[in-house]
Amino acid sequence: MSAYELSTAVAVAAAITDGRTTARQVVTAALDRIGRLDGRVGAFTDVVAARALARADAQDAALSGGAKPGPLTGVPFAVKNLIDIAGLPTRAGSKINRERPPAERDGALVRRLEAAGAILVGALNMGEYAYDFTGENVHDGDAHNPHALDHMTGGSSRGSGAALAAGMVPLTLGSDTNGSIRVPAAFCGCFGLKPTYGRLTRAGSFPFVGSLDHLGPLARSVTDLALAYDVMQGPDPDDPVATLRPAEPVLPHLDAGIDGLRIAVAGGHFARGGDPDAFAAVARAAEVLGARGTVELPEAHRARAAAYLITAAEGATLHLDRLRTRPQDFDPAVRDRLIAGAMIPAPHVERAQRFRRWYRARVLELFETVDVILAPATPCRAPKGGQTHFVLDGVTLPVRANIGVFTQPISFIGLPVVAAPIRLDAGLPLGVQVIAAPWREDLVLRVARHLERTGVSTAPIAELA
């Protein structure tokens, strides 16, 4: 591997700024690796090589002329294909959407990353309309886990995790409605941040469930994750739920350590229904962090059920016209879930929303006594591609419906979470959720950084020839 392929975003930007390499050399290396490996991995659906090289040349010329470099100067990145890229139709993983007119401008987060110097190289594979946990797509082909190509990446931000694990780019963007950043991060062995609901603008992205959708970064280091998060913060009038809170940078506090933090492990729902390895990963992180005691998120199993119900109902509402006029152009599995969602009685949805408010209030009470909560990210390591069932706690269950068993009760109320990769052995990675109260991304990133510094949490590039 080249030095670039082993580098973090921060290291790439530093090498360009110091004159040890150029933006064109870095982007060319990224495009070359994508070209060599993506036929097997399936992370990308679109590569914008001409745009990327033109921007790299412009950056090199500006730096030669004395321009001040940005914090992400020359860093190649890619985005889940539900985020607008000027000149391309926004696929959202579907067959139908690729017939839409090309986007007139980039999504807001793409613009913010490029304002910091990053260079977009393409769009990434995803589950159809983000309604997926496995990493499979009947229209664009499956994305394959670079650590074991016959295993799943997890969804729906499948390409966002796979591109990082394969060393194609050091930074990606994904979306998370019920776990779609955290699951691919766990299965592919990288870091992912689902920020507080409303913290990062979603303007210029195709929605799935408006009351649950988040956008966020994935990376191979916590520093990269924090830097990307910082440059993407800020209010946006184009997203009605974007917070008006000013940006609250986390990078200056990233290495503050964990002294004084009250860290606990989630019990109850989060301590059953998974493989022993999933809980061993949490125990390993808890040991290193000095976690004390357990807390129980009340009625977390009902929160998961309510999240399913709201997801199905809101998702179906968004797609009713397409379901009526073009049912044959959906992935049948997605279509059937959306049709089922359209038939949910309105009083059931209202009841789920009332429960959601109650549950959020109860969980926030927990953060009066703890600062950070640890939980598994997934109930197991990545299943094999095409696998439809697995056995958890001695019970045979459908894979697609149960991968998000530990992520859904958290995104349901919009809490900030870092998914941190844990390797217990030479097998596939696992992930741990680091969870805090709303707007405390600083805490989850500090804890993840401590896990990284101690060597418990690492995100190596897969060994692909």
Catalytic residue among 94, 157, 160, 180: 180
Q: Which two tokens stand for residue 10?
A: 């921060």
Half-sphere exposure (Cβ direction) of 121: Cα atoms closer than 13 Å = 29
Burial class (CB in 10 A: 0-12, 13-18, 19+), 439: middle
Asked if 54 and 189 count as a contact pair (C-beta separation under 8 A), the reply is: no
Half-sphere exposure (Cβ direction) of 457: Cα atoms closer than 13 Å = 35
Catalytic residue among 80, 160, 205, 457: 80
Report the distance separating Cα 458 and Cα 217, nearest Å.
17
φ, ψ for residue 433, nearest 5 deg: -85, 130
Catalytic residue among 156, 175, 411, 457: 156
Return the SS3 of 440: coil
180 is catalytic: yes
Q: What are the DSSP calls for 125-151, one per residue?
A: ---GGG--SS---TTT---B-TTSTTB
Residue 457 DSSP code: S
In terms of Cα–Cα distance, which of 274, 278, 318, 273 is closest to 177?
Answer: 318
Asked if 110 and 231 count as a contact pair (C-beta separation under 8 A), the reply is: no
In the sheet with 44-47, reading across from the earlier edge strand, the strands are: 44-47, 119-124, 76-80, 171-176, 214-219, 191-194, 417-422, 430-436, 372-376, 263-266, 294-295
The radius of gyration computed from the CA coordinates of the chain, to the nearest angstrom, equals: 20
| Residues written for the chain | 465
80 is catalytic: yes
Residue with the two structure tokens 């030479």: 426
**So which residues are the catalytic ones?**
80, 156, 180
